[in-house]
Structure 1
């Protein structure tokens, strides 16, 4: 899309989509969990709400020198297993302004945040619970 659309590219794009779909279906384990559409909608709305609130907060802190920044690291003890579940969670939380997952230490996820005095761990717990309800209900 960045280079412009050309109808002659459609066969190559279709082949790439088919190959990616086939690879995904054959390499990933089948999942027995059921996806909850209402829970996924709630997760999307929670994500949107938190993105707006956190984005406004980050902008305020960046533009108003009177507002304090207390950057640092917080540790989050996730209940998600290593692998895909943690990857989905850290990907989701990396999109929220003000916090960035930076790694793992002693089984806990490490997040860098702009203000360590904010309820970051409680917010991460709410995100994790919403994600589990939306994607990993068995």
Structure 2
């Protein structure tokens, strides 16, 4: 029996496709990641021309490892929606940050911390992780684990607020910005 099939039987999931056998999406992801890793390497070093070969080899190795550990997904990023989402996110961050600061400084304002469960429509993977990262940057909500089904356990500062409804609206905006989840492999 092949190692790949044994891995699938043990873990219940498929291994990433090796480079070169995926779609054009994998190639785009590889190019983007390699450029990012090489750029990061340039920032960390003195960019001496004699060391560029080492940087290219390091970027290639990091790209290969990242594609094996986190296969490419199709992100139908919409630039106009992304700009709108960024503006919305900044507005929400300022409003929520002001609310948290007021609650912390004024003892008369209610603080009812607790947990809520939010059932997400995003499948496990980088898109769900991106949504959780966005949630964690909005003051007053912090994803802190998984719940039954596709649920996310969210810590919030006031459980009497419509947190689940707000998260549903944020997820809808996020999905409109990054597109539906389609995993290669």
Q: Measure, in 2, the Cα distance between the counterparts of 1:55 and 1:87.
A: 22
RMSD: 2.8
Could you say which residue in structure 2 is the equivalent of 1:51? 93
Cα 1:61–1:21 change in 2 (3 A) is same
Could you say which residue in structure 1 is the equivalent of 2:147? 105
Q: Measure, in 2, the Cα distance between the counterparts of 1:18 and 1:26.
A: 12
Structure possessing the higher radius of gyration over alpha carbons: 2
For structure 2, the residue ranges without an aligned partner over 5 or more in a row are 1-42
For structure 1, the residue ranges without an aligned partner over 5 or more in a row are 1-5
Could you say which residue in structure 2 is the equivalent of 1:23? 64
Cα 1:76–1:26 change in 2 (3 A) is closer
Could you say which residue in structure 2 is the equivalent of 1:39? 81
TM-score computed with the length of structure 1 as normaliser: 0.82
- How many residues are paired up? 133
> Shift of the alpha carbon at 1:79?
0.5
TM-score computed with the length of structure 2 as normaliser: 0.63
Mapping for residues 5-16 of structure 1, pairs under 5 Å: 9-11=46-48, 15=55
RCO higher in 1 or 2 (8 Å CA, sep ≥ 6)? Answer: 1
